[in-house]
């Protein structure tokens, strides 16, 4: 059963099996001002903070950086420059983290194969998510309001949603649905989302969808910004966190945003056709 998002300010609820409350605000990564970390130097495919693993799917394709899942950002502007897409995809629409903090995470959801964007406990513990702060990414916000070469400008009939999916032993506990854009309104501030409907889990996964879908999946830039993840942490599940395997797929071809085959990466968005039958969106 899906739960439509709730913006909450009520006291967080406790669970009998939980023993401690943890908040992840990403400040411990100590990024330089106005910078970002997309996972290029990670030894494992995750950013680890306060006992939680935030999946990162960094890959190098012919010298060009690709990632999905989570990146860490301290970018301090809320503008979007199409000529600087490689950096400006890490901007929040507010120009800061939640509560005007320096650092936040950027969630990029890929629909093109590989590991699902996820959060797990680094010690294999069960946990009961309480809340998270979310806002729109500046790149996605610009596309929603103005359209671009790949995605359309949104109208009041369009919607853009994030799905936060709780799992325990491989079974979905519940899903919280967050409207990043709906009914002509766009999220332009950090909002606290109630996650208590997910209950006790050993994993959270993320997906996105919108009313703008094409031959290669959702056209809307699949980004949002993420901060102040709060959870209760309980007993050990016994499950081990095994790093996701790195794909050995090679690039078989390149498409422009319009779906035309091109010989080399062009400025902006490119679609890579991989040898394993999947595709990747990459920015130059």
| CA distances for 59 relative to 141, 246, 273, angstroms | 26, 8, 14
User: Among 72-76, 113-117, 127-131, whose mean pLDDT is lowest?
Assistant: 113-117
Please report the domains of the chain, with CATH numbers, ordered by start residue: 2-238 (2.60.120.1350)
Tell me the three state secondary structure of residue 11: coil
- For residue 113, pLDDT over 70 is answered with no
Q: Would the CA dihedral through 163, 46, 67, 142 be positive or negative?
A: positive
- For residue 211, pLDDT over 80 is answered with yes
- φ/ψ (deg, to 5) at 276: -90, 10
Query: Left if phi > 0, otherwise alpha if psi is -120 to 50, otherwise beta: which for 28?
Result: alpha
Tell me the three state secondary structure of residue 264: coil
b/e sequence 79-103, b meaning 16+ C-beta within 10 Å: ebeeeebbebbbbbbbebbbeebbb
* Arithmetic mean of pLDDT over the chain: 86
For 16, residues 6+ apart whose C-beta sits below 8 A from its C-beta are none
Distance CA 24, CA 231 (A): 9
pLDDT for position 146: 93
CA angle 199, 55, 270 (to 5 degrees): 125
* Mean pLDDT to the nearest integer, 245-264: 73
pLDDT for position 111: 63
Q: Which of 125, 122, 133, 130 is nearest to 50 (CA)?
A: 122
Name the pLDDT band for 247 (thresholds 50, 70, 90).
low
**Higher per-residue confidence, 210 vs 278:** 210
How many other CB atoms are found less than 10 A from the CB of residue 76? 14
pLDDT for position 172: 98
Q: Is 0.85 surpassed by the pTM of this model?
A: no
pLDDT for position 11: 38
pLDDT for position 284: 65
- Strands 2-4 and 171-182, bridge-based pairing: parallel
* Mean pLDDT to the nearest integer, 98-111: 94
Distance CA 186, CA 208 (A): 15
* Mean pLDDT to the nearest integer, 232-238: 77
Q: Which of 217, 23, 262 is nearest to 129 (CA)?
A: 23
**Higher per-residue confidence, 235 vs 97:** 97
**Higher per-residue confidence, 32 vs 252:** 32
Per-residue pLDDT of 9-25, as tens digits, reads 333 333 344 479 999 99
- For residue 85, pLDDT over 80 is answered with no
Dihedral angle over CA of 136, 138, 139, 143, nearest 10: 70
**Higher per-residue confidence, 111 vs 58:** 58
Per-residue pLDDT of 27-62, as tens digits, reads 999 999 999 999 999 988 999 999 999 999 998 877
Per-residue pLDDT of 137-175, as tens digits, reads 999 999 999 998 889 999 999 999 999 999 999 999 999
**Higher per-residue confidence, 214 vs 135:** 135
* Mean pLDDT to the nearest integer, 251-279: 75
pLDDT for position 66: 87
* Mean pLDDT to the nearest integer, 79-89: 83
Distance CA 181, CA 213 (A): 15
- For residue 101, pLDDT over 60 is answered with yes
pLDDT for position 12: 38
């Amino acid at each position: 059963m899906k739960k439509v998002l709730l913006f909450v300010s009520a006291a967080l609820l406790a669970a009998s099996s939980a023993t401690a409350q943890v908040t992840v605000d990403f400040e411990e990564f100590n990024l330089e001002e106005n910078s970002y970390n997309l996972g290029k130097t990670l030894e494992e495919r995750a950013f680890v903070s306060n006992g939680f693993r935030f999946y990162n799917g960094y890959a190098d394709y012919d010298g060009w950086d690709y990632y999905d899942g989570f990146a860490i950002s301290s970018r301090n502007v809320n503008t979007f420059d199409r000529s600087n897409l490689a950096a400006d995809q890490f901007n929040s629409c507010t120009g800061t983290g939640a509560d005007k903090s320096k650092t936040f995470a950027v969630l990029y959801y890929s629909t093109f194969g590989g590991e699902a964007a996820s959060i797990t406990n680094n010690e294999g513990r069960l946990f009961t998510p309480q809340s998270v702060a979310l806002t729109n990414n500046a790149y996605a916000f610009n596309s929603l309001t103005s359209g671009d070469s790949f995605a359309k400008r949104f109208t009041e009939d369009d919607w853009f949603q994030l799905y936060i999916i709780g799992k325990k032993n491989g079974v979905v506990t519940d899903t919280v649905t967050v409207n990043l854009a709906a009914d002509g309104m766009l999220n332009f501030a950090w909002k606290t989302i109630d996650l208590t409907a997910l209950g006790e889990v050993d994993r959270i996964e993320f997906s996105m969808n919108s009313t703008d879908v094409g031959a290669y999946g959702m056209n809307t830039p699949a980004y949002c910004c993420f901060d102040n993840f709060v959870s209760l942490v309980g007993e050990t599940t016994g499950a081990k966190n095994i790093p996701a395997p790195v794909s050995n797929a090679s690039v078989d071809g390149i498409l422009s945003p319009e779906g035309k085959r091109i010989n080399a990466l062009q400025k902006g968005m490119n679609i890579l056709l991989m040898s394993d039958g999947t595709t990747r969106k990459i920015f130059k």
